[in-house]
Amino acid sequence: MSKSQRLLELLMAVNRKRSFTVGELAREFGVSQRTMLRDLQELSEWGVPLYSEVGPHGGYRVLKERILPPIAFSEEEAVAIFFAIHALRHYSSLPFAAEVASAVSKFYAYMPPDVRERIDQMRNRVDFVTPKRQAESPYLSILLEAAVEQKVLLIEYESRGMRSSRHIQPIGIYTRNGLWYCPAYCWQNEDYRVFRCDRIHAATFAGAEWESLDLRDVHLANRKSQRVIAGQEGSPVYAELTRAGVQMCEAEAWAASLLHTRPDGTGWLAGSIAEGDLDYFAKYFIGLGLEVTVLRSPELLASMKRYLAELTSKYGEKAEGGTDLTNRKQNEAATDFPKLSKPAQPSRCRAGKSRKNNP
């Protein structure tokens, strides 16, 4: 076995093992302990995070941030992975921002020149647009770790302009429209809640006195993790949807268990709304316009009417100079999408020949 092949297999072997001794590896690879020590030193120079322990039960261990063994990707697979990671650049916050930048750099650096040239051309041809947000979410990593490890966090959370401390047990994080959300069990409310991650101003692991719940079967696809839960106590709601309304609701994660569709594409929403979420859904249904008709829920209808009255009052006022805001010209609204100049058309005249003049 050549040295390069032995080092490659050694790299895969140490990544499979949690701990090992030089003697064990030497016997496994059929080399002397001195040769194995040199090989381990070379792996360490490659970046494999090894550390040694002395004593009768000592040996070598690989740190948690171990290097994965080489994986052979096809050209198409490598390009697909590159752009999957490249798409995350629009987010101002990520739970693994430094690792994302490092992975993209490694993928690009080790690709053949012709593949890099192809990627450079594709960068201007494909994109995954996400709204860029000014709000930062600096605690995504600890929220994700708590969800995976089933741990309780003490957070400082801002809601309706007021800050409060509360204990939560996250079940995951997800992003929508450039914002990050964390569904979690909240001990203060004794129920599941969805928290805006950019409104979390501090997050630390709770003390040992806070025993975590067994939420291994609760995840982002569960109805318990959604803002609205069918059958929960609250205000019952029933709303008819046009085909366009169904398509708009399909984009909302909370609507998965409440949305019902008919063969003609129309549908309806049926479920319950918690009292604290009435204002949120009043604004949402108003945003659907004529594509929704709320038929049940006096509380929701009252909240919608109240919000519409506030909008009417706001936009019925006079602007400076006495101009009614509702009568402003619609073409005054500017668009942020630049006008593209028409590309130059190639000449249809052949070299050496002139066009005939049109009569």
pLDDT at 288: 94
pLDDT at 159: 85
Q: What whole-number distance in Å separates Cα of residue 51 and Cα of residue 63?
A: 7
* Coil vs helix vs strand at 299: helix
Q: Which residues of 152-167 are buried (b: 16+ CB within 10 A; e: fewer)?
A: bbbbebeeeeeeeebb
| Contact in structure between 15 and 69 (CB atoms under 8 Å) | yes
Judge if pTM exceeds 0.85: no
pLDDT at 333: 42
Give me the average pLDDT of each 10-residue run along the chain (359 residues).
Answer: 78 78 89 90 78 68 63 80 84 82 80 86 83 86 93 93 93 87 90 90 92 87 49 75 93 80 94 82 93 90 93 73 49 42 48 46
